Amino acid sequence: MAAVSGIAYLGEDISLTVSSTTGRPDLPSPGRSPDRPTQASNVSPLAAVVQSVTTKVAIIGINAVTGIITARALQPEGRGELAAMILWPIFLASALTLGVPSALTFQLKRNPERQSQLLGAALLLAILTSVVGMLLGIVFISSWIPQYPVKVILFARIFLLINTTVASLLLTGRAALESIGDFSASNKILLWPPILTLIGLIGLLVTHAMTPYSAAIAYVPVGIAPVGWMLGRLWKVFRPTLLSLRESSRLLFSYGIRSYGIDLCGTMAVYVDQALVVRLLAPGMMGTYVVALSLSRMLNAFHASVVMVLFPRAVSRSPREVIEMTSRAARMSTVLTTVIGTAVGLVGPQVLVLLYGAEYRSATTVLRILVVEVVCSGATLVLAQAFMALGRPGVVTALQIIGLALTVPLMLVLVPRLGIVGAGLALLLSTIIRLGFVLVSFPLFLRMEVPRLLPKAEDLSFLLSAVARRLKQPIRAGFVASEALER
């Protein structure tokens, strides 16, 4: 997902929007004088990654607590009903981006003189696409989950009306903030919804008012306050306007439509399994699957944090630099995810019982399958950034669509036969095919060798030297300050 929507916050899953900035420190933003650089000028790639990883780790911890609370309080059936109600706003908002978030950050760097017009057009498009999502959801939800109680379907429709536009605006707004290197604001927007959700769930638990419906209320409206704060920040920096709407929309769609397949594939990779499991299985099985999925998806933080910084930094660099950056990022993030994923797979049964309860022990097998899928999908996500940064989003779009197109038929065949294990296998097979397609496309379309995924000795040296440079910065700043005081 070059701009993988992920985005917004849903249940215990983390989805992240990735934008496309070069990260050049000399690019002033609207409303600022040229001698007043944006935050990007003071944030190194390593610092941005560390900040993003720290945020994701915090979110993982909060999500773990909220997951434990809902799983234990609601049991598998109630947890499945909760998932059925809160799934749709972020799923439809992410599926209907039309590639606008990734196109916005790409065009903001290519056309800095049009930043106000581009952001105004992007926000309007986000609102319009969210309306389409609401209409589709309201019409089709009842026929998609007929096995659920009428009250669950009613609340699912209400939450669609409340949260779809919020989710769409968050995707677009975070892309704009990341385009100027304001990863701090973007991370705050990611962090506040789970914090507010946790507060709401604790309140329900203490007052013994926890039901699937009250729990859903703790999840859904929490994005409203962050989106209000985000829009205020965007107004100060960009001064969005609808002037030259047609031309700005043309620029966004010229890149967005070509990258939309990647956005859509990323969204489907995150949510299509849940959408199909909620359709094919009973609420209890859905609740068990969501717990396993949530635990495995915690590993996404490493790849997502790297991509959040890699794409913006890679835009406008030479092809050789882009490939080198992408290869190193893929190797380092994949090794880290593999090590931690192996540990999760080994202690998975004990973790499931300890944290969520004995009722979820049956999720052990699918958890291990999903951990392997996370490692492969993360590597695919990082490698795809090379094509996005080099202006070839259509290549990855075509290849990912072919791979992801296998997910739906595989799910339809395997889930009825194998249950939630079949869902995990369908995701894993599709992801392996997508990873193969991305690797093969390097020599086919970029005329470059396939990036090496096995770790190299110089990767560790690069990491250590980057950390050392980062640690020296406060010391150097202290020397400068002391000299200034002496003078």
Which helix or strand (DSSP H or E) is residue 119 part of? Answer: helix 115-144
Do the Cβ atoms of 79 and 232 come closer than 8 Å?
A: no
Asked if 465 contacts 471 with a C-beta cutoff of 8 angstroms, the reply is: no
The number of folded domains in the chain is 1
- CA atoms of 184 and 219, how far apart (whole Å): 23
pLDDT tens digits for 187-241? 888 899 999 999 999 999 999 999 999 999 999 889 899 999 999 999 998 999 9
CA 395 to chain centre: 21
Is residue 210 in a domain?
yes
pLDDT of 168 reads: 92
The 10 Å Cβ neighbour count of residue 122 is 27
Q: What's the pLDDT at 477?
A: 42
- What is the rounded distance in angstroms from the CA atom of residue 352 to the CA atom of residue 363? 8
> Cα 467 to the chain's mean position, in Å?
26
- Residue 351 CB contacts under 8 Å (≥ 6 apart), including other chains: 295, 344
What is the structure's pLDDT at 48? 65
The answer to whether the beta carbons of residues 10 and 86 sit under 8 Å apart is yes
- pLDDT value at position 212? 95
442: Cβ contacts below 8 Å, ≥ 6 apart: 323, 386, 448, 449, 450, 451
Within 8 A by CB and 6+ apart from 474, the residues are none
CA dist 377 and 103 (Å) reads 22
Asked if residue 220 is part of any domain, the answer here is yes
Judge whether 378 lies within some domain: yes
Other beta carbons within 10 angstroms of residue 467's beta carbon come to 12
Angle value at C-alpha 424, between 421 and 430, nearest 5 degrees: 140
In a domain, 479, yes or no: no
pLDDT of residue 466: 53
Plot region of 185 (φ>0 → left; ψ -120 to 50 → alpha; else → beta): alpha
Q: Is residue 83 part of a domain?
A: yes
pLDDT of residue 462: 59
The answer to whether residue 486 sits within a structural domain is: no
Residues of the chain with pLDDT under 50: 1-42, 474-487
How much of the chain is helix, strand and coil, in % rounded to 5? 80, 0, 15
Contact between residue 214 and residue 204 where contact means Cβ atoms under 8 Å apart:
yes
Is 328:453 a contact under the CB 8 Å cutoff? no
Element (H, E) at 126: helix 115-144
Q: How far apart are CA 181 and CA 237, in angstroms?
A: 12
**347: buried, middle or exposed (CB in 10 Å: 19+, 13-18, 0-12)?**
exposed
Q: Which among 307, 259, 270, 275 is positioned nearest to 98, based on CA atoms? A: 259
Q: Say if 319 falls within a structural domain.
A: yes
Supply the pLDDT for residue 456. Answer: 72
Query: Read out DSSP for 33-100?
Result: -TTS--GGGG--HHHHHHHHHHHHHHHHHHHHHHHHHHHHHHHHHHHHHHHHHHSHHHHHHHHT-TTH
Q: Which residues, in sequence order, are CB contacts of 465 under 8 Å at separation 6+? A: none
State the residue range of the domain holding 421.
6-471
Determine the angle formed by the axes of helices 319-351 and 364-389, rounding to 10 degrees: 170
User: Residue 21: which of 389, 319, 330 has the closest Cα?
Assistant: 389
* Helices 364-389, 283-297: inter-axial angle, 10-degree rounding: 50
Residue 482 lies in a domain: no
